Amino acid sequence: MQAKRRMLRSERPSPAYPVRRIRETVTVTLALLIAGYLLLYSIEPSRRFAERHLVKLNDWSPTVLLAMLLVLAIFAVHGLGRQLRATHTALTARQDDGTASHLAEVLNNLRTVSARGRRRDRRLEVLGLTMDTTWPQLAAWLTSHNPPTHWTITLYCLDPGFISGSADLPPDWATEATRTRQSVQALLTGEAAALERRRVTVELRSYACLPVVHGFRFGDGDLFISYTQWSEAGETRPFDFYERITPYDTSARANHYRDLFDNWLGRVARRTDRTAAVPEDPG
């Protein structure tokens, strides 16, 4: 049902659509009227007819009309350029749809959103496993020479105790998850003042359920989703790639993937224990 509602919403015209259509209609109409009158004015018989039955122009009037026509042309070209840029962005995003083979490709989106995204887009939810490979890269980004600002990051990591008691998860994952918790806590304690000054909120939550789905969801709607699989030895291990669902993809398939991620994130959220956090921005 949620996917259906998303599809219906995506098929409706945006609120700006009627305004854009009116603006385009007015621009084209004015341009045609001015061009038509200038054409009449350039031919002697039609100019006499226009002056007698329509409007008699002064010597400087054609210059004014040409200037108006030029302004309308500039507006039209500007609007066309904006539409072409929007189309190019959408097409590029669709071409990028597919898979991300390396975690670095996923986390690259952090820098993209930081550079181009709005503040409300600077949110990241990580539905992780042990976070043993993800957290070191996030930590390096958080403490880099060009550190992020105004980010809200929520990390979901497997509970070490749950791993130890599960016959389906590799035992060494418990060590990795414990190491992640200690590392997150150390960074949040040591960098608390800097993170608060930059309005960066980081929260780590441990969860206790089988991690079938994992991935990354950004505030702009970008979703990287993957799964766990069985190894030949009968143990659980991460799948080999992430599938990317961009904000521009409004297909039924993409909406089903979004619902799937929501479903598992909701399940995990009900089985969590908050272990580390930096206070949220009071403003």
Instruction: Give Cα 191 to chain centroid, integer Å.
Output: 27
Mean pLDDT of 219-243: 86
At 29, which helix (H) or strand (E)?
Answer: helix 16-42
Q: Which of 166, 179, 177 is CA-nearest to residue 129? A: 177
pLDDT at position 104? 80
Domain ranges of the chain: 12-95, 98-277
Q: How far apart are CA 175 and CA 165, in angstroms?
A: 13
Sign of the four-CA dihedral 162, 186, 238, 244: positive
Q: Under a CB-based contact definition with an 8 Å cutoff, are residues 24 and 80 in contact? A: no
pTM more than 0.85: no
pLDDT at position 38? 66
Strand extents, DSSP E, the chain: 98-100, 123-127, 152-158, 201-207, 213-218, 223-230, 236-238, 242-245, 272-277
Mean pLDDT of 28-32: 73
Q: Which of 1, 10, 2, 4 is CA-nearest to residue 246? A: 10
Of 74-78, 103-107, 122-126, the range with the lowest mean pLDDT is: 74-78
Q: How far apart are CA 202 and CA 18, in angstroms?
A: 42
With a cut of 60, say whether residue 96 has pLDDT above it.
no
Does the domain made of 98-277 have the CATH classification 1.10.287? no
When comparing pLDDT for 19 and 205, which is higher? 205
Per-residue model confidence as pLDDT tens digits over 130-153: 999 999 999 999 999 989 999 999
Print burial letters for 36-67: b (CB count within 10 Å at least 16), e (below 16): ebeebbeeeeebeebeeeeeebeeeeeeebee
Mean pLDDT of 113-128: 87
Residue 100 pairs in a beta bridge with 242
Give the confidence band of 216 by pLDDT, cuts at 50, 70, 90: very high
By CB neighbour count within 10 A (0-12 exposed, 13-18 middle, 19+ buried), where does 196 fall? middle
With a cut of 50, say whether residue 161 has pLDDT above it.
yes
Sign of the four-CA dihedral 142, 148, 150, 155: negative
Q: How far apart are CA 254 and CA 231, in angstroms?
A: 28
Q: How far apart are CA 147 and CA 110, in angstroms?
A: 11
Give the confidence band of 189 by pLDDT, cuts at 50, 70, 90: very high
Q: Under a CB-based contact definition with an 8 Å cutoff, are residues 64 and 34 in contact? A: no
Give the confidence band of 112 by pLDDT, cuts at 50, 70, 90: confident
Contacts of 250 (CB under 8 A, 6+ apart): 6, 7, 10, 11
pLDDT at position 25? 76
With a cut of 80, say whether residue 47 has pLDDT above it.
no
When comparing pLDDT for 109 and 23, which is higher? 109
pLDDT at position 270? 85
Give the confidence band of 37 by pLDDT, cuts at 50, 70, 90: low
When comparing pLDDT for 139 and 8, which is higher? 139
Tokens of 261: 């991620």
Beta 242-245 vs 236-238: how paired, if at all?
A: unpaired
